[in-house]
Chains A and B, each alone.
Chain A
Amino acid sequence: MSLLNNVIDHSLDDGYAEAAARRGVTGRSHLPTTLRAKLGLAFGLVLAALVVTVGAAQAQRAAPTVEKERQELIDRVEGGTADADDLQGEVDGLRESVAAMQRKALERHGGDKGELTALLSGSTPVQGPGIKLVIDDAKGSGGDGGGPREGSGFADTGRLRDRDLQRVVNGLWESGAEAVAVNGQRLTALSAIRAAGDAILVDNKPLAPPYTLLAIGDGQRLSTTFQDSADGQYLHVIQENYGIRTSIAAQDEVKLPAAPSVNVRTARPVEEEKGSTE
């Protein structure tokens, strides 16, 4: 407090009082009288006014520059986003046409197997009867940044882990599902379900709970078979023990999207003419 008091008490430069004491003036001389003193005051005021004006001018000059730079950055960001959107649209269109060509080629060479291959590989949207399985983390476990269930420290046991989702998906396939999608991500023969940090990734895209699994199959029967299977039992157990919330319902009509890209870069079919014996 003494520091603040000091600053407040000595707000006027002590030099003034000392100079006044030296001159012996107790006074009422409001303005300097001698020419020298007047010039001194004028010089000081010139300097003060100059500094303040230059400061103001500098701020005035800098403001539009800063604003301009900001606007340029915004423009560049927006331009880049628009370009990326255009390119994404182009990619989507090309992918669509490639898929159409693939289907056509498959039809030509494989007869009605082409459609089947496309369905099984996930390169075409599918619809049909099926089930909708919704799995959510236990109440009060979401969003608090804790580790996954059975993770290091066992801090947060109410979260669905990647291996749980893997088991559930495996159970669905095993129970006769013909196509499966997780949160709108169609699973293909190349799909991977794994974890990174706290998030479950399907094909490297992070998912946020609740996890909605759509599976196409014989609606009610698929549901029953799944719930009776080992993996269905497992889901039941984690529901009982850890409070994972699940709900399963048969649906008359389920629509699954196509997988975003089905690329096979290195694998190719064995050429039968060469008579491979392996």
Chain B
Amino acid sequence: MIAVLGLIVGVVAGLVLQPVVPTAVEPYLPIAVVAALDAVFGGLRSMLDGIFDDKVFVVSFLSNVVVAALIVFLGDKLGVGAQLSTGVVVVLGIRIFSNAAAIRRHIFRA
């Protein structure tokens, strides 16, 4: 119940507060979104696997977002930002896909 509440609070906070994203951080937002989705799917799968751990969830979420942003930041400084963003998106995308597939197997047994 608290978890669902948290989800709703997050969405509402994002919509109501409309926090202005600083221009310096703006390029990393899409990557952060993909990393967040990856963490959420990973958490969901682990829950279905029966090995969910709240600390791992929060820490993996935060570190995913930070590391992804860091990689893109570094790439921007080195002039390969676009390529590294693509790389991050590909890796996280594959993870999201396979996690989604695992979740699907759990739910539909197929």
Interface residues of B (CB under 8 A from A): 2-3, 5-11, 13-15, 18-19, 21, 26, 29-30, 32-33, 36-37, 39-40, 42-43, 45-62, 65, 91, 94-95, 97-99, 102
Contacting pair B51 A48 (CB below 8 A): no
11 A-B interface contacts by CB (under 8 A): A11-B98, A19-B55, A38-B3, A41-B57, A44-B61, A45-B40, A46-B13, A47-B58, A49-B7, A54-B14, A58-B29
Contacting pair A46 B37 (CB below 8 A): no
Looking at the assembled complex, report how far the CB atom of A47 sits from the nearest CB atom of chain B, in whole angstroms.
Answer: 6
Contacts of A51 in B (CB 8 A): 29, 32-33, 36, 65
| Known contacts A11-B98, A15-B56; A47 and B36 CB within 8 A of each other | yes
A270 at the interface (CB under 8 A from B): no
Interface-forming stretch among A21-29, A85-93, A205-213, A260-268?
A21-29
Which residue from chain B places its CB closest to the CB of A38 in the assembled complex? B2
Give the complex CA separation of A43 and B43 in angstroms: 13
Looking at the assembled complex, report how far the CB atom of A40 sits from the nearest CB atom of chain B, in whole angstroms.
Answer: 3
Interface residues of A (CB under 8 A from B): 4, 7-8, 11-13, 15-20, 23, 25-32, 36-58
Contacting pair B50 A48 (CB below 8 A): no
Give the complex CA separation of A19 and B58 in angstroms: 13
| Known contacts A30-B47, A52-B36; A40 and B57 CB within 8 A of each other | yes
Give the complex CA separation of A31 and B56 in angstroms: 14
Interface SS of chain B: helix
Contacting pair B57 A55 (CB below 8 A): no
Give the complex CA separation of A50 and B6 in angstroms: 10
Looking at the assembled complex, report how far the CB atom of A63 sits from the nearest CB atom of chain B, in whole angstroms.
Answer: 13
Contacting pair A52 B33 (CB below 8 A): yes
Give the complex CA separation of A160 and B32 in angstroms: 61
Give the complex CA separation of A54 and B43 in angstroms: 21
List 10 A-B pairs, minimum CB-CB distance, nearest first: A49-B10, A53-B14, A40-B54, A42-B6, A20-B51, A11-B98, A19-B53, A55-B33, A15-B56, A27-B50
Which residue from chain A places its CB closest to the CB of B14 in the assembled complex? A53
Which residue from chain B places its CB closest to the CB of A50 in the assembled complex? B10
Contacts of A58 in B (CB 8 A): 21, 26, 29
Name the contact of B102 in the complex, choosing from A11, A32, A39, A50 (C-beta under 8 A).
Answer: A11
